[in-house]
Amino acid sequence: MLKTKVNFNNQSLKSLSKISGNRAFIVSDSIMESLGYLQEVVNHLNEAGISSTVFTGVRPDPDVSLIADGLKLYRNSGADVLVAIGGGSAIDTAKGILYFMRKFGNIEGLEIKKPLFIAIPSTSGTGSEVTDFTVITSEGEKVVIIDELISPDIAILDSTCIQHVPQRVAADTGIDVLVHAIEAYVSTKATDFTDALAEKAIKLIFENLESLYKDTKNDQARDRVLNASCIAGMAFTNAGLGINHSLAHALGGTFHISHGRSNALLLLAVIEYNAELSGSASGYAAERYSKLAKILDLPARTRREGTVNFILAIKKLIKALGVEENIRALGVDQIEFEKAVEQMSETAAQDRCTPTNPKQPSKEDLIRIYQKCY
């Protein structure tokens, strides 16, 4: 079920001039401000007769202190429209503000009315503009929050907003899209509807991400990857994710590795684990990976053959995107990694994404995956 209305294609930002409201609270970052997109949003809202209060304090991996700062300003603004423009961190911050607004309202005995929530992504990765997921950092750990309240009411996909994305960010966020779609496809909650979305997102990524990486000014590739991000978001918000994200949340939070890069470094080992490639490779996950191989026109006469060829295709794509071969290559010290691996595995086991993984892991399984990826 999708609750978010999606406006897409170039110049869709102009749709802001037609919304209804009185006062807007805009959550963004200094980059979107310096590039002029924040002012463009303010101008379109002015056309609609809506005044704006702006919060540009967003930073990567938003934590509870940042949410508190934004929430204080939001409550003072009296806004009935909430706009998030930026990458996943900006949208996560706006979602965190919404979530804790209700929490504090309940404590204070106040009836809280949800504002019209509009999400405008500036990266092609999280799919957060159509999901009820957010990730907030608390005491150094990334915490996944899932709540219907934080689903945006409107998503605006205007690929002109992502034309200045650095090459490395295009790679990281694009791989995140791929992992969203793959995990939704092999999830224990996958359905015919989420399968269709996941399959389309995966094809779009394989057909366009490398082109976008090589030239971020490529309009067609930019549109397609941004669409894939949103489509994958629709898939996983309904089907759930898996341990690739659980492990990535803990790894990224511990060693300050970007979310997309963390996912990329873990992806191949997670697929091998889920498909039981060291064993029979005859289970549910191997069947699903093999179907994806067929969709990509790869040889898949057996589940094992399909899974292996799917892995090889991903490996080729990741290499073309300049992703390191392992965690060590990012400069993570081996002693520090070994010290952290048990706690990271415990955190991943408790992550909200783990229950829908096709194979339920033990802590020892998760430790082995981390060690294999190091």
Please give the pLDDT value at position 187.
Answer: 98
pLDDT at 293 over 90: yes
Q: In the chain, pLDDT over 90 holds for what percent of residues?
A: 76
**DSSP H helix total and E strand total for the chain:** 13, 8
Cα distance between residue 274 and residue 165, in whole Å: 33
The structure tokens 């406006």 sit at 7
Answer yes or no: CATH 1.20.1250.20 is held by domain 167-373: no
Beta bridge partners of 157: 8
Strands (E), the chain: 5-8, 23-27, 51-55, 81-86, 116-121, 133-138, 141-146, 154-157
Please give the pLDDT value at position 1.
Answer: 59
148, 194 contact by CB (below 8 A): no
Q: What is the mean pLDDT of the chain?
A: 93
Degrees, nearest 5: CA angle 363-235-200: 115
Please give the pLDDT value at position 136.
Answer: 87
CATH top class, domain 5-162: alpha beta
Q: What is the pLDDT of residues 250-263, one digit of tens each?
A: 999 899 999 999 99
Q: What is the pLDDT of residues 316-332, one digit of tens each?
A: 999 999 999 999 999 99
Please give the pLDDT value at position 123.
Answer: 78
Which residue type, as a one-letter code, is found at position 52? Answer: S
Degrees, nearest 5: CA angle 102-108-112: 35
Higher pLDDT, 127 or 298: 298
Per-residue pLDDT averaged across 353-361, rounded?
A: 97
DSSP conformation letters of 275-344: HTTTTT--SHHHHHHHHHHHHTT---SSHHHHHHHHHHHHHHHHHHTT--SSSGGGT--HHHHHHHHHHH
Question: What is the Cα Rg of the chain in Å?
Answer: 20
- The confidence band for 30, taking pLDDT boundaries of 50, 70 and 90, is confident
Enter the pTM of the model: 0.86
- The confidence band for 31, taking pLDDT boundaries of 50, 70 and 90, is confident
Please give the pLDDT value at position 2.
Answer: 67
76, 55 contact by CB (below 8 A): no
Please give the pLDDT value at position 109.
Answer: 79
pLDDT at 313 over 70: yes
CA proximity to 180, closest of 144, 205, 210: 205
Domain spans of the chain, in order of start: 5-162, 167-373
